[in-house]
Structure 1
Amino acid sequence: MNERDVFLAAIEIADPAERAAYVDQACSDDSKLRAQVEELLKTHAETSQFLETPAVATDSAVARTILTDASDTDEDSADERASGEAEFRKYLKPATRDGWLGRLAHYEIEQILGRGAFGIVAKAFDEKLQRVVAIKLMSPELAATSPPRKRFLREARTAAAVTHENIVAIYAVEEEPIPYLVMEYVSGETLKQRVDGHGPLEVADVLRIGQQVASGLAAAHSVNLIHRDIKPS
């Protein structure tokens, strides 16, 4: 994990002692990483005194994870994807399909889509319901501590109650062998990919996409799920 990943996880832990314990565990003997994280936390604390509102104070770890399409990650390099695949395979049973990565419960894992601060996203096939899904496996570093696990599961259940055309549907949340979400798989390109490939958007498209994003966020806010990481990727 880099300093951004540790910082984003740490600010979701309200109790100071639990937060400090998490930073100790995540940084281990890496003094440089610890210094970077502590500086980010210090800056966050200073700015929060000015910017904080009741809504922002609401727990939001899973909102950051859920309220996106299946490509809830920055574009990864080949090495990062390989690393993510190796990390994911530790929790998989042998695949029953040629060329696939493995099996998680009754889900056949086809490929890794990317990595985010809170976990690994994969494309999978639900053998029971016979449909393609996206699975987000919680980062092992986060899953190793109790507060992030509890928050992940609690907010996943809350988010599953949100039904909106601009928010991916949550099909299931599981705890073993590591917490993971099963979500609607949305095929297509990200906004970043579209802009990079086709240039700036027309004003009408900007307004349409902006309205869709705002509508989805409003639905999330209605159940106190706050997304702090909106980005075109």
Structure 2
Amino acid sequence: MDEKMLKKLAPYRVLYAEDEAGVRKNVYELLSLLFKEVYLATDGDEAYTLFVQHKPDLIITDIKMPHLSGIDLAKKIRQNDQKAHIIFITAYTEVDFMLEAIELSLLRYIVKPITEPKLFDALEKFLQAKEKAHLQELAPSWYYDSLQKIITHESDIYELTKKEAKFIELLLQKDSIISYEEIEQKLWESEYMSLNALRLMIKNLRKKLPEGTLKNIQGIGYKL
């Protein structure tokens, strides 16, 4: 694993569920070197409790476990969280389990025995999914990157001010008109927002957006 990948994994937290003590110890030691936090579970019930408590960025779980299988664990998680990143650990003999798992939107599955190349390949998939989740499409080939606070268009990159980034995020979250009152409250906070200051921000932001993306609703506010 290269240094760049190590740095990317370092801020994240992982939940690892495995009932076999030997396998659990070896994989846990490796995950502890890669992730900020590793929450360890010996069965599905314990894993679900830890998931609810900590909301980890990634769940790695064996399929066959006592009390609650990896399949049932993923089903419980999916009831309240459709975006959780889940990797299954499976054996070749567990084909029936994997057929059931298809509906659970898995990130990837690792076939035992667990080797470093297999694990790193799955973790690379996790990083790709996380990076993609930071991008929101504004128009064809135009994206807002919520991690870096930039707008990209093909090879062009537009850096946003703190207020511009907050404004774009408000528009994307609400997906409707943002009123002048909301803009003043969320962007200017305790400061006074003059019309000139608002117009200047909008003017500068329009230069970083595709034409026609940001619309002014006269007397009310703005929308994408």
Name the TM-score, length of structure 2 as normaliser. Answer: 0.25
Name the TM-score, length of structure 1 as normaliser. Answer: 0.25
Q: Counting strand residues as a fraction of each chain, which structure ranks higher?
A: 2
Q: Which protein has the larger Cα radius of gyration, Structure 1 or Structure 2?
A: 2
Larger relative CO (CA 8 A, sep 6+): 1 or 2? Answer: 1
